[in-house]
Structure 1
Amino acid sequence: MIYCEGCGIQLQTEDEKRPGFIPPAALERDHKYCKRCFRIRHYNELSTVDHNPDIYLQILGQIADTDSLVVQIVDLFDIAGSWIPGIHRHIGNNPLLLFGNKIDLFPQSIKTGKLKEWMHSYASDLGVKPVDVVVGSAAKQEKLQEVRNAIERYRQGRDVYIVGVTNVGKSTFLNYLLEEPIITTSPYPGTTLDVIHIPLDDDRNIVDTPGIVKKNRLSEWISPKELGEVIPKSRLNPKVYQLNNGQTVFLAGLARFDYVEGQRQPFTCYFSNRLYLHRTKQEQADSFYEKHLSGLLQPPLDPNDLPALQKHRIVLRGSEKQDIVISGLGWIACGKERGVVDVYAPKGIEVTLRPSII
């Protein structure tokens, strides 16, 4: 059996419509890629693939039977949404190293030590005790030598498993470790389709695993053509709104934020710089949404691509700064005043409240 070097899927020459297809002549090449990976790599052509989350979780669960170092990559832009639930149960007694990716999206003033402490605290609250936490940027190759050093320090001659949910940057990170762009990368979730073993110099392996699919993240629902407006690729330029109660902020046509009750206070929006935000009066919000959805308020281009919006009521205590997080989209940093907020997000998308990360 021959496997695609880019996504790990078993190659086949019989059915062009099934994953893993490769033209027979391409089997003679030194580096063998399926048609999907070839078109992603050479033409930046995105395509969706039906994923079975249960199979990917089964692959993750097999790590418990190995003697390995496990590196979980977490998206700092979406920590809760990119966390693998029950990671400590899936990997058994193997040590866990956490890598917080995409630090390049944060304001330059942010302290890396604060982010590390935040991640340690987050993991601890979930009953997870990593051997270490490191942060950096795979895309910009920032602080990655620290990650490389940590892997060598903790693996102690063992295999290394790279795990994470879809679209956290696993393949980009792995290509850095290998110093050669072997693994296929793309901005669309679920590019890696099966396990990929890459030999190391000491007869051990780095193992790239498929991204775990979490359907409670909004980024999983966005079409390939619109994903670039939702997932940030450059440093965030936060937008600050001084809101009185009775005001609404639309996050394109994907979500809505109503300040229902409370004193005037600032709300800072951390979303992709390309995402359109619009403030209006709450009493006009319903009619504005109905009139402009998929026009001024886009994405989505097609409202049928997403579930209907569902209301989440959030009470701000006023005792500390808090973030309202819409999984897979971004977050809103609230002021220190008490208040009541209604957040509307597509049904099934996780909306949570956390201590402020910045």
Structure 2
Amino acid sequence: MTELLKENSRCAGCGIALQTTEPSRTGYVPESAREREPIICQRCFRIKNYNDASSVAIDQDDFLRLLGGIASTNSLVVHIVDLFDFEGSLISSLQRFVGTNPVLLVVNKIDLLPKVTNWNRLRNWVQKQARANGLKVVGVLLCSARKNIGFERVVETVADLRGKRDVYVIGATNVGKSTLVNRLISDYSDLERELTVSRYPGTTLDAVHIPLEDGRSIIDTPGIVYRSRLSEVIPRDNLHAIMPDKPLKPATYQLDAKQTLFFGGIARFDFVEGEHQSFTAYVSNGLPIHRTKLERADALYEEHRGVMLAPPSREGLETVPPWTRHSLRVKPGEEVDVFVSGLGWIKVNGKAGALIDVHAPKGVKVMLRETML
């Protein structure tokens, strides 16, 4: 029988209930670590010190039950989304969970975009996308928690909007929630604690309540796991290749019809029909892109996947779902991006129209959207 460390004792890093008897289960604390303050589980210790995390399955129903309880509270809801994976990280059903509580939309990781970005245009784009997904927000803020860009504005806005409310911080896995909460803690609380932060999806395992000096709390919630994101379906040791941590270097390709771009061995972009035109890829700088003729694409993939066309490596191919083909028609005059959740996007620069096929692991979100930049 699992022995809990003490009544209501939870990990200061991920929020999971602590226990001392089963090392293979979440919340385990070894004998040597029981006297630490604040106390964290072995998993969080390994993430913090060795950048290592075991795979932990989080029940989606638990996430929904937790979100469902927000409507009955008096809270400010801070919804964090990843600008690099906007459609993949936006919780489109959020409105039915939060009731009448105000929602502040914080768009993180703007440091990944070129410095010449028109930020007003980007903010308008975000507002339009939020409305299209049925999300009513009291404000949109652009920031980079990691680079501390625009963060003072986030802190000030949270202070202005929350009043005597608690603050719920919600979002999909790996959008930067815990990084943002850690910065809020440093501004609002003298509590000596830090949430576990890593690149691994699902780092926060249960709601973490951080008491504030006025008697209210900041609540960091577990990330919603969306299997429609590449980061949830490729091997964890490949995440560094698709998740950028430096500003993107857009790669522009002049393509004729019947040409193909491979993004490692993760996805494939076929320009099937259309006039000669250019396409600009906004993907991680660490992901190799290979161009070939469409007629050779199938054979190239069969021969070189897992080696030249990597990641994933040949060993990791077994864990990745088979590819599905998505056929996308760009109408003449449209200004659109081809968005692949977790991979990034390919901007269609021409306005003559095009027929594009995208091959990506089954279940991964692929769509056309109004161009971001």
TM-score (norm 1): 0.98
Equivalent-residue separation in structure 2 for 1:57 and 1:328 (angstroms)? 22
Q: Spell out, residue by residue over 1:90-131, the C-alpha distance to the aligned partner (whole angstroms, 9 max, x if none).
A: 111100000000000001011222221111111111222200
Q: How does 1:276-295 map to 2 (within 5 A)?
A: 276-295=288-307
1:345 paired residue number: 360
For the 8 Å contact 1:165–1:213, the answer to whether it is kept is yes
1:168 aligns with 2:168: no
Equivalent-residue separation in structure 1 for 2:345 and 2:371 (angstroms)? 10
1:325 aligns with 2:332: no
Match of 2:159 among 152, 157, 163: 152
Unaligned ranges ≥5, structure 1: none
Equivalent-residue separation in structure 1 for 2:322 and 2:10 (angstroms)? 40
Q: Which amino acid aligns with 1:242?
A: Q
Report how far residue 46 of structure 1 moved.
Answer: 2.6
Equivalent-residue separation in structure 2 for 1:124 and 1:247 (angstroms)? 36
1:66 paired residue number: 73
Q: How does 1:185-196 map to 2 (within 5 A)?
A: 185-196=197-208
Report how far residue 181 of structure 1 moved.
Answer: 6.2
Q: Spell out, residue by residue over 1:284-326, the C-alpha distance to the aligned partner (whole angstroms, 9 max, x if none).
A: 1011000110001111112111111111111111213200000
With 21-30 and 194-203 compared, the bigger mean Cα shift is at 21-30
User: May I ask how many residue pairs the two structures share in their alignment?
Assistant: 358
Match of 1:238 among 236, 250, 258: 250
For the 8 Å contact 1:47–1:224, the answer to whether it is kept is no
Structure 1 ranges of 4+ moved more than 6 A: none
RMSD: 1.0
For the 8 Å contact 1:307–1:346, the answer to whether it is kept is yes
Q: How does 1:104-253 map to 2 (within 5 A)?
A: 104-179=111-186, 182-253=194-265
For the 8 Å contact 1:216–1:349, the answer to whether it is kept is yes
For the 8 Å contact 1:325–1:353, the answer to whether it is kept is yes
3-state DSSP of counterpart to 1:160:
strand
Equivalent-residue separation in structure 2 for 1:85 and 1:54 (angstroms)? 17
Unaligned ranges ≥5, structure 2: 1-7, 187-191
For the 8 Å contact 2:260–2:294, the answer to whether it is kept is yes
3-state DSSP of counterpart to 1:28:
coil
Equivalent-residue separation in structure 1 for 2:158 and 2:267 (angstroms)? 39
Report how far residue 78 of structure 1 moved.
Answer: 0.9
Equivalent-residue separation in structure 1 for 2:29 and 2:92 (angstroms)? 35
Equivalent-residue separation in structure 2 for 1:204 and 1:181 (angstroms)? 17
Q: Which amino acid aligns with 1:7?
A: C
3-state DSSP of counterpart to 2:69:
helix
For the 8 Å contact 1:101–1:169, the answer to whether it is kept is yes
Equivalent-residue separation in structure 2 for 1:305 and 1:237 (angstroms)? 29
Equivalent-residue separation in structure 1 for 2:216 and 2:100 (angstroms)? 19
Q: Which amino acid aligns with 1:291?
A: E
For the 8 Å contact 2:235–2:320, the answer to whether it is kept is no
For the 8 Å contact 2:251–2:281, the answer to whether it is kept is yes
For the 8 Å contact 1:247–1:258, the answer to whether it is kept is yes
2:281 paired residue number: 269
Match of 1:29 among 19, 33, 36: 36
With 200-209 and 177-186 compared, the bigger mean Cα shift is at 177-186
For the 8 Å contact 1:136–1:143, the answer to whether it is kept is yes
3-state DSSP of counterpart to 1:99:
strand
TM-score (norm 2): 0.94
Equivalent-residue separation in structure 1 for 2:113 and 2:347 (angstroms)? 14
Q: Which amino acid aligns with 1:243?
A: L
For the 8 Å contact 1:46–1:224, the answer to whether it is kept is no
Equivalent-residue separation in structure 1 for 2:214 and 2:121 (angstroms)? 36
